[in-house]
Amino acid sequence: MIWFFRGTFILAWRDLKSYLHGAGFYVIAAFFSAIIGWAYISRLFDFIRMSGQMAQMGRSDNMNLHSTVMMSLMAQVHLILFFAIPFITMWLLAEEKRTRSFDLLMTSPLSSTQIVIAKIMAGFGAALVLVLISLVYPFFTSLISDVQWAPLFTSYLGLLLLMATYVAIGVFSSSLTQSSILACFMAFVLSLSLWFVAWAGNVVEGMTAQNIVHHISVANHFSQFSKGVVETKGIVFHLSLIFLFGFLTQRVIEVARWR
């Protein structure tokens, strides 16, 4: 049992360090910071100007920093990570298979479950670094204004669950091929298909169908989290997706033994 956690951690730590030693991750992080920084500042200045105008008209109580600025920040962070995570996760298994370093993992006393968990942890760790960067903006805003930390916290919780889901999808895609680019593309298509389901909610007819789509829609769960509502079904939904893709990856690795 101790070995299960230690072995997993050793592998995850190596992969995470490999991200932090490579130039690719810093390129992604730099793009991420630049876009988020620009978007946040322009949104914040818009808000300040508008609330000034509103105050002159005597209606300042309608303005809400969280729903205007923070939720927009969330949407930006999410959008960029949606594109960035496939680039982060594409290496995790595809590159190992291409360079044959995967042989080392397969002949070490690690189970395929440990390998999958480690890979998801490493990808999530790298995405977490980016998410932490985005926390800089609310932090500095809190120095000049009142930030509502509670809904911000639940928004981040929702965001992290969504990130972990994308990472699990990315690791699964990476397990299917030796080509990182193909893995990236597949991860992107699979993540996008989650949102197609969400958009289908507007098209389907009938109460039951709409209910089903509503439950499996990432958009719906994410909007609940960003409103400050933590629903068990939202958490369970994301955890089951992560489990599903983790399980599929584990199967893919196991199957390689039998071919």
Partner 1 sequence: MVDSSLRRSSQETSSPYMIEIKNLTKWYGAIHAVKDINFHVHRGEVVGFLGPNGAGKSTTMKIITGYMAPSEGEVRVAGYDVFENPLEVKRHIGYLPETPPLYADMYVRDYLSFAAKLKGVVGSSVCSKVDLALEKAGLEDVQKRLIQNLSKGYKQRVGLAQALVSEPELLILDEPTVGLDPKQVAEIRHLIQRLKGHHTIVLSTHILPEVQATCERIVIINKGQIVAEDSLEKLQERVHGARHFLLRVRRPSEGFVSQLNSVAGVERVESLGSSYELVTDGSGECPSLVAQVAIASGGGLLELRAMDLDLEQIFLKLTSQGGER
Interface ranges with partner 1 (CB under 8 A): 3, 7, 10-11, 14, 18, 21-22, 99-111, 257-259
Which backbone phi and psi does 107 adopt, to 5 degrees?
-105, 10
Tokens (6 digits) for 231? 């629903």
Closer Cβ to partner 1, 46 or 103, answer by number: 103
Minimum CB distance to partner 1 smaller for 10 or for 230: 10
* Separation CA 230–CA 158 (nearest Å): 8
Minimum CB separation from partner 1 for residue 28, in Å? Answer: 16
Which of 101, 193 has the CB closer to partner 1? 101
Whole-number Å distance between alpha carbons of 15 and 121: 9
Min CB(255)–partner 1 separation in Å: 10
**Angle between helix 180-200 and 71-89 (nearest 10):** 140
User: In angstroms, rounded to a whole number, what is the distance separating the alpha carbons of residues 198 and 213?
Assistant: 7
- CB of 106 vs partner 1, minimal distance in Å: 5
Of 162, 173, 187, nearest in space to 238 by CA: 162
Closest to partner 1 by CB, 4 or 153: 4
Q: Is the dihedral of CA 49, 55, 59, 64 positive or negative?
A: positive
Q: Shortest distance, CB of residue 15 to partner 1, whole angstroms?
A: 10
Least distance (Å) between residue 122 CB and partner 1: 13
Q: Which residues contact 148 (CB under 8 A, 6 or more apart)?
A: 65, 66, 70
* Nearest-angstrom CA–CA distance, 153 and 64: 16
In the complex with partner 1, the residue whose CB is nearer, 2 or 57, is 2
Smallest distance, Å, CB 99 to partner 1? 7
Query: For partner 1, which is the closer residue by CB, 102 or 222?
Result: 102
